[in-house]
Amino acid sequence: MDEHSAQDENNKMDTTPLPVSLNPEVIESRNLAPEIELPQIFQKIVQERGNFRDLDETELEKQLEEEEDSSKAFSGKQDPYYGFTILPSQQEGNDVSQNSMNIHDYKKELVDYILIAQNECSLALDMTSLLLSKYKQSSSDTISPFLKSTVPPGSLGLERCHPPEAKESDSILAMCWKRKSLTSSKNLLFDAKERLSKVVDSEREYFQILSNVRDSSWPLVLSNKGGNYDVSVQYSALGGISLGLGLVRKDQEKQSYNFESGLVHQKASLRVDLVSSTGKIIASSKWNWSWGIQEEEDQLLVKIQSAQRVLLEMDVWNALLQEAQICENQGVVFTGDTIVLSCNPEFSLRIFLDTNTEESRQDPEADFLNVDQEEEYDYETKKLSQRCCDAVNAITHILFLQYCRNPNRKLQQAELAMVIDASAPQIIRPLIFYYAIHEEARQFQNWLQNEGIKFEYLPSYPWESAQDFLTFENFLLTNRLSLQWYLDLDSSLPAHIQHNPTLHGTEKTVWKYKDAYNFYKFSSVKNMCQYIEHARKQRGEVASNAIQE
């Protein structure tokens, strides 16, 4: 059935005078075999019009229109010279392709030339091998396989003959060739000298800059990267946790030297925000390094310094994140980019790494720009909260320095037993610790005031006795505090309370109550308050009894 219909179609086709097939058999067979192989069709289409990959409908439509246009225009172009007009444009096209050659084209061409040379040599080898195979069996091994299969060995002969005439042009050619190649080698050497001396100049400049860098006491590190030696600057030289190496590279366009640090951020600084419960920023402090930058210095050194600062800030941030993971029981909530300390229901401290590239101004008022303008806080409160943020930020950095100072520090055995993760930095925990002590003390004070008890509060913080900065740092980490309270309970009975809060351990806070009769330990202020109330009541009863008697 199919064949019949196909033949019918063929007959129909034949009735139309055009297009006349030059090879009717082929067309017939194609019609007779409609299930022509798909891979072949694909091959043909790809060959004709490229891949399907960047094919879309609009392009096809455009092409169709173009084809229609060209078929209309074709009648006009049907002159005998039509084919020749293509030739010059083709030549131009070749020129274009030569101009914009890329490496792969060069490689292809190189391979082509080498193939030509190889072909020539193997032809010569074929000939000589064939010639020699007449006299020596083994020489036929070097004949190419095709030649070996078609030509019997020993089929080439040789005979003595008169040497060919020496042509005059040969000697001229030889002389000119030699002269030309000598000249060209001279030019090549000169060019190479020019180029290399330029390279050496730029290298001298580079090493001059490197030695500048080294003179300003940045350590240089020689690193071997895939056989190439790179001199990199260790910009984390002054401290921090991670090692920062950066390369000094020449910027070809600007003709200046760049410092490639591999850091993600151009600028980074730790920012501490005091956020109210409604989510408004009351105060914020952005850590600002005020040391070491001298604008009149080398631009490159400034870049290295800023890279160092960024890396240090990132280290601080990472240390904070690391610590935040073990501080969840102390109300620390963290995501990847913020840490929220919410010790107080009213406020929370939000710490994050500010990578804003905008240059914040040096004056402290600039920080107020970040703060939401709120009417409910007066200037003094704002100033105070600002100072709080600044202090938190500063102490964070100080504690980080302390952490860096002995990265593999050995905790005391007793301390070690109480610490979950010994290697974690201690930055957030002391902060929370001191804040919690303060809160507790304030609570107690409030209670005492409400009860009308006279008291004397004698806190002795360890850093008060710090002689220098180093001891100050160490004292910030002191595990034990001793806070003294002197209470004047009724009728001149003094009570002495010793408050020994600790940073680690199950006994977070210990209140030791001591008066003339009793010595008790309480684990919380609440319990102690209850006891004091009880004691006062007892005392009152005793006193009233005494009066009755």
Partner 1 sequence: MTTTPSPFDLSNIQWRMPEWVQSVGGLRTENVLDYFSFSPFYDHKSNNQMLKMQSQFNALDLGDLNNHLRRLTGTQFVVTHERPPFLWIIQKQHRLNEQEVKPLSTYFVCNENIYMAPNAYTLLATRMLNATHSLQTALKKIENIPQYHPQEGYTYPQKISDNPSSQGKDLQETNKNENTNAENNVDYTFSAEDFSVVRAFMMSLQSLHNPAQTPSNP
Binding residues for partner 1 (CB under 8 A): 50-51, 86, 89-90, 92-93, 96-97, 100-104, 106, 109-110, 113-114, 116-118, 120-121, 123-124, 127-128, 131, 157-164, 188, 196, 199, 203, 206, 227-228, 230
How far apart, in whole angstroms, are the C-alpha atoms of residue 422 and residue 322?
12
Using H for helix, E for strand and C for coil, what is the string for 260-314? ECCCCCCCCEEEEEEEECCCCEEEEEECCCCCCCCCCCCHHHHHHHHHHHHHHHH
By beta-carbon proximity to partner 1, the closer residue of 101 and 416 is 101
By beta-carbon proximity to partner 1, the closer residue of 2 and 105 is 105
For residue 496, give both structure tokens.
């002495």
By beta-carbon proximity to partner 1, the closer residue of 99 and 406 is 99
Residue 158 beta carbon to partner 1: minimum distance, rounded to whole angstroms: 7
Q: For residue 17, report the phi and psi dihedrals to the nearest 5 degrees.
A: -70, -30
Residue 46 beta carbon to partner 1: minimum distance, rounded to whole angstroms: 10
Contacts of 324 (CB under 8 A, 6+ apart): 332, 334, 339, 428
Q: Which residue has the tokens 């229901």?
A: 345
Q: How many CB atoms lie within 10 A of CB 48?
A: 7
Residue 243 beta carbon to partner 1: minimum distance, rounded to whole angstroms: 22
Residue 137 beta carbon to partner 1: minimum distance, rounded to whole angstroms: 21
Residue 246 beta carbon to partner 1: minimum distance, rounded to whole angstroms: 15
By beta-carbon proximity to partner 1, the closer residue of 199 and 394 is 199
Point out which residues pair with 455 in neighbouring strands: 487
Residue 274 beta carbon to partner 1: minimum distance, rounded to whole angstroms: 47
Point out which residues pair with 511 in neighbouring strands: 499, 522
How far apart, in whole angstroms, are the C-alpha atoms of residue 453 and residue 447?
9
Stated as kind and residue range, the H or E segment containing 357 is none
Residue 120 beta carbon to partner 1: minimum distance, rounded to whole angstroms: 4
The CA dihedral of 264, 266, 267, 268, to the nearest 10 degrees, is 0
Task: Return the SS3 of 210.
Answer: helix
How far apart, in whole angstroms, are the C-alpha atoms of residue 447 and residue 450?
5
Residue 65 beta carbon to partner 1: minimum distance, rounded to whole angstroms: 14
By beta-carbon proximity to partner 1, the closer residue of 201 and 490 is 201
By beta-carbon proximity to partner 1, the closer residue of 49 and 409 is 49
By beta-carbon proximity to partner 1, the closer residue of 72 and 160 is 160
By beta-carbon proximity to partner 1, the closer residue of 91 and 335 is 91
